[in-house]
Structure 1
Amino acid sequence: MSIDFQPTLESIPPPHVVYRFKPLPNSVPVNQTPLNPVSFLLRAASIYPNKLALVHKDVKYPVAYTFAVWAQRIQNLAYAIIEAGIRPGDRVAVIAPNCPLIADAHFGVLAARAVITPINIRLTKPEVDYILEHSGANLVLVDHEFAHLTKGAKARVIVSNDTGRAGDPYEAFLASGRRFGQEKGWEGLEMELDENANASLCYTSGTTGRPKGVISTFRGSYLGAVANVLESRLNEESVYLWILPMFHACGWTFPWANVLSYTTQVTLRTVSIDLIWNHFDNSGITHYCAAPTVQIGIINHPHSHPLGRPLTAVIAGSAPTAHLIGELEKLGIKPVHVYGLTETYGPFTRNYAKKEWMALSHDGRSKLMARQGHSFATADDARVVIHQPDGSLKDVPEDGKTLGEIAVRGNIVMKEYFNDPAATAKAFAGGYFSTGDLAVKFPDRTISIQDRSKDIIISGGENASSLSIEQELANHSHVLEAAVVAKSHPKWGERPAAFIVLNREGQEEWSGQHKEFEEHLKKSLKGKLPGFAIPEWVYVVEDLPKTSTGKIQKNRLRQIVAENVKSKL
């Protein structure tokens, strides 16, 4: 991945650089050092200064930075942030796609003891305005393509033209930071002494109202990254492709995990399946994270083919189907199925494959791998509980049948909702964080999500899991994607309504015969699903509405079926 690029003069570290913060005060015990993910960068630059750290290739102005050069740029950013008047605990907003700017910010903002506030680039201007106002951000780092989202912002705005070259306003900002630091280096920067101080402020999707700000800490970010290195098997020979947006839950802590493991990172500004396959074939990619919708695009791409070397795909965002897991394996892509939320630093459970599963059929093994599994190494045990009238939590039987809510606590659970004590208290009732995800627990203590609490379909008094229906629909040879929501029914109260995207073969087979496909699909589900769970309505659509992180927007599908019902009244 050689690139003909020369970093700016200010990006070149001085000789005999010391990768260490200002010495800790004597009040800090010798046997304690506050956990801080910035320490991962200092260690990487000290051990592998000349190793390729960050590659930004598929753009007009490609760049590539070694750990030594990148550490200097991040140091410059930290000083520039401090020079801009940002104090410890202040929020620094970042609006950017996957590019060096947002990768820098995950370290530079924390090195300045400020709080990184990454904002979804696909939000509307009013939504961004709300987050900037609610977060109280005093500084905004923004990519040139999204600078319009900061128009009228009260905070100071620094624009990056994503060039890495002199003349770029972001480069000028970094150069100013280098001068302000007066070559004191890392030892001129104070380490955050309180590992439970606010480190990041990430906003939820807000599909049912205003988005909530999730506060995470230095300690939690550190331990989340440690877990992801372990669970994803990252190391100094790994090459990670940035498909997952870094603005989404701070990239599930992978901006820090990749540096802890000395991994080379390759950034993509946009999710292009063409570019993804090009990197798979030519850039030595070993790891990536992506939601199921992106994985579906990868396996169904015209150029998809079995790979001749190991490639690990970390899957989260929504539950993958057994069919998807099986198709990835056929390409030689090892799926690591994880589950989590913004409130848990991204993933906090993983499906741990067992050797005895290899004796099962491909479909049998895939169904087991589709479960959400057990908690991460740095997380407490994930419980499946029923909320009791007295406020306590009661575990469901480990029978794989009894439905309860996933509840978690521990090192990688958020600190709080920003400036929202009522929402925080509600979420933490019973001493655990209630996720809103409904699941069962099996005798081997694995958990398996059945649905979001708002997505359960109650038909004639029976609970139908939309996720279970979707899993079965995805097994059909002509189905590319499926989403199921409840639709009002005069007799049963609710019945499932399925939205189907056909794959290439399905489009050819059922062109102009969607009604016939509906009847065919319902017949194929008999004996596989109980009668009340078989979709009453099937809608063949070109695509499904999704969030910027690939989650299907079921609220929009529910709106569609509701409007359809009203039109018939």
Structure 2
Amino acid sequence: MLFKTQAAFKPTPASIPTEHCNYRLQLPSGLPVHIHPLNPLAFVLRAAQIYPDKLAIVHPDVEHPSTYTYSVWAQRIQNLAYALIWSGIKPGDRVAVIAPNTPMMADAHHGIIAARAIITPINTRLTKPEVEYILEHSGAKLILVDHEYTHLVRGEKAQIIICKDTGRFGDPYEEFLSKGRQHSNEKGWSGLIMETDEDIGATLCYTSGTTGRPKGVLSTLRGTYLAAMANAYETRMEHDSVYLWILPMFHACGWTFPWSITLAFATQITQRTVDNQLIWKHLLHSGVTHYCGAPTVQIGIVSHPHARKLSHRITTTVAGSAPTAHLIGELDKKNINVVHVYGLTETYGPFTRGYVQQFYKNLSLEERAKYMARQGHAFVTAQEVRVVYQDDNEELTDVPADGKTIGEIVTRGNIVMKKYYRDPEATKKAFRGGYFHSGDLAVMHTDGSIAIQDRSKDIIISGGENASSLAIEQELSEHHDVLEVAVVARPHPKWGERPMAFVTLKPSAERKWAGRHAAFTEDLQKFSKNRLPGFARPEWVRVEDELPKTSTGKIMKTALRGIVAKL
């Protein structure tokens, strides 16, 4: 199916590289012989040199499908770099990108860096005022925007390049690339200067801003390079891998997978929307080996009518919020191997994972999934992850490794952001005590693995006992009729707080409990008696058609607390 698309598509003449193309950037004078500045751009250049005719990008599920080999794609990336420079972009300038998962979005993650500028991907699900704030705060000088999202940049002063996602003549983005090729005067890659400072900004990603204005997370070339290496290694992505884009590339730069894919010489399939029917088409028929997705997305995948056990093993990277052991088990039943990772935008996406242990093979699927639901240990290129409490002198003390004592997850090292852009106070607060403070609460187990209990604001204090909303959700999700569940605190006259569960039902259970939500509440509470202590059992249950979610798919507990406040 993928190669049918390839046979029918012809790249523009400006996308065809010269014969005997050189993939070496211009080397600045004075660079010591023993130093090779780390830059993730190197991965795609290496792929184009070693596997020029290998399929790099397939964009099949659109009106105008397109495909690019590594050599053609590298030429297009080069064209974009020259076009940006021709447009006045200088080293360190910010270039915004507003697009779904398309070839242009993939181009931008390499071409902007090749121009020594900083990519600023913007969530397509934001409102116009939110986009305006990010554009103003970042000071973006040029905006690459997909044709479906031009309303978000209407009236902006920065130069705007629109992409119609065709790959063909008449597309403004294609004309922009052609101008870049003309501007290059066929100097090729040797006409572009290598960046010698690997600690310079490479990406500027904005947090979701659920508790206020979004913060701009500035990350470096070095960190991006090392985070991408870790992702490829931890997921065992290789030359024959096929990565399906489900995770938005605008979300923390796709957790650095745009560069992990090129490091591995893999093929990527881009999709404009998260469509579970199309996802299953590709899982079943397109040789997909890898994809990423938050738990809410994974629930939709395993619950889809087309879901079945796959004939080949696929690896999925799960993050964004903690998956339940039940979800991990359901994915495993479909022959989908779960690499459970944890991270934040401030850590380039993932920086820990739950590593499989030898004794897991002797466990049942349910028991094994509970271990795999832990956030685990630090990545290969990350520094040790710690769980600590902090005294008034900002001294960090590790919690005992007893699996019970709660502290905050902190880390430092290679894959931690450089700073919050234009926000020194927030940076100082996040880096207090010489570590990055995640705001996530966890316990440390005897084997050194961590397990998140909650965000600090999500702990429920009931009768003096600390109840983890995450731990409650993990248990309630085991109920055979529960699709999704979120738990928040609700005031209680005797205990101070008690848990309230917001639940969506599986499609197969909706008819069963239609008009009988009180009976379902009773059934769920009865189910929880053997799984949760009294203070952690849901005092109230509310069935919803859907749970409120952020633009990146995380359940918005702030919205649920708003509902509780009115009860």
Q: TM-score, normalised by structure 2?
A: 0.99
Q: Which residue of 1 aligns with 2:28?
A: 24
Q: Return the offset for 1:459.
A: 1.3
1:474 to 477, 492, 500: 477
Deviations 1:194-215 (A, max 9, x none): 0000000000000000000000
Q: Which residue of 2 aligns with 1:567?
A: none
Residue 238, structure 1, aligned to residue 250, structure 2:
no
Q: Return the offset for 1:355.
A: 2.0
Residue 50, structure 1, aligned to residue 53, structure 2:
yes
Q: CA RMSD in A?
A: 0.7
In structure 2, what is the Cα distance between the partners aligned to 1:370 and 1:163?
41
1:150 to 148, 153, 159: 153
In structure 2, what is the Cα distance between the partners aligned to 1:111 and 1:439?
39
In structure 1, what is the Cα distance between the partners aligned to 2:49 and 2:501?
54
Q: Which residue of 1 aligns with 2:262?
A: 259
Q: Which residue of 1 aligns with 2:278?
A: 275
Q: Return the offset for 1:310.
A: 1.3
Q: Return the offset for 1:354.
A: 1.1
In structure 2, what is the Cα distance between the partners aligned to 1:172 and 1:80?
10
2:142 to 117, 139, 144: 139
1:247 to 231, 247, 250: 250
In structure 1, what is the Cα distance between the partners aligned to 2:420 and 2:216?
5
Q: Which residue of 2 aligns with 1:193?
A: 196
Q: Which residue of 2 aligns with 1:315?
A: 318
Q: Which residue of 2 aligns with 1:12?
A: 16
Alignment of 1:105-504 (within 5 A): 105-504=108-507
Opposite residue 218 of structure 1, the aligned amino acid is L
Q: Which residue of 1 aligns with 2:553?
A: 550
In structure 1, what is the Cα distance between the partners aligned to 2:216 and 2:551?
17
Deviations 1:356-382 (A, max 9, x none): 111012211110010000000000000
Question: Secondary structure of the residue that 2:511 maps to in structure 1?
Answer: helix
Taking only the aligned residue pairs, the percentage that are identical comes to 64
Question: Secondary structure of the residue that 1:10 maps to in structure 2?
Answer: helix
2:564 to 561, 564, 568: 561
Opposite residue 28 of structure 2, the aligned amino acid is L
Opposite residue 14 of structure 1, the aligned amino acid is T
Q: Return the offset for 1:23.
A: 2.1
Q: Return the offset for 1:489.
A: 1.7
Structure 1: segments with no counterpart, 5+ residues: 565-569
Structure 2: segments with no counterpart, 5+ residues: none
Q: Return the offset for 1:184.
A: 0.1
Question: Secondary structure of the residue that 1:151 maps to in structure 2?
Answer: coil
Deviations 1:252-303 (A, max 9, x none): 0000000000000000100000000000111100000000111111111111
Q: Please, which moves more after superposition, 508-517 or 102-111?
A: 508-517
Opposite residue 332 of structure 2, the aligned amino acid is E
2:530 to 514, 527, 531: 527
Structure 1 segments of 4 or more deviating over 6 A?
none
Q: Return the offset for 1:312.
A: 0.4
In structure 1, what is the Cα distance between the partners aligned to 2:520 and 2:150?
46
In structure 1, what is the Cα distance between the partners aligned to 2:45 and 2:410?
36
In structure 2, what is the Cα distance between the partners aligned to 1:62 and 1:338?
33
In structure 2, what is the Cα distance between the partners aligned to 1:282 and 1:505?
27
Q: Return the offset for 1:24.
A: 3.1
Question: Secondary structure of the residue that 1:142 maps to in structure 2?
Answer: strand
Opposite residue 14 of structure 2, the aligned amino acid is E
In structure 2, what is the Cα distance between the partners aligned to 1:135 and 1:289?
28
Q: How many residues get paired? A: 563
In structure 2, what is the Cα distance between the partners aligned to 1:447 and 1:439?
6
Question: Secondary structure of the residue that 1:509 maps to in structure 2?
Answer: coil
In structure 1, what is the Cα distance between the partners aligned to 2:82 and 2:248?
26
Q: Which residue of 2 aligns with 1:36?
A: 39
In structure 1, what is the Cα distance between the partners aligned to 2:497 and 2:39?
50
Indicate conservation of the 8 Å contact 2:59/2:67, yes or no.
Answer: yes
In structure 2, what is the Cα distance between the partners aligned to 1:99 and 1:511?
41
Q: Please, which moves more after superposition, 315-324 or 483-492?
A: 483-492
Deviations 1:20-53 (A, max 9, x none): 101231x111010110000101100000000000
In structure 1, what is the Cα distance between the partners aligned to 2:289 and 2:530?
41
In structure 1, what is the Cα distance between the partners aligned to 2:351 and 2:157?
36
In structure 2, what is the Cα distance between the partners aligned to 1:548 and 1:98?
15
Opposite residue 473 of structure 2, the aligned amino acid is E
In structure 2, what is the Cα distance between the partners aligned to 1:237 and 1:310?
13
In structure 1, what is the Cα distance between the partners aligned to 2:453 and 2:323?
12
In structure 1, what is the Cα distance between the partners aligned to 2:90 and 2:492?
57
Question: Secondary structure of the residue that 2:387 maps to in structure 1?
Answer: strand
Indicate conservation of the 8 Å contact 2:208/2:552, yes or no.
Answer: no
Q: Return the offset for 1:16.
A: 1.2
Q: Return the offset for 1:491.
A: 2.1
Q: Return the offset for 1:490.
A: 2.1
In structure 1, what is the Cα distance between the partners aligned to 2:305 and 2:197?
51
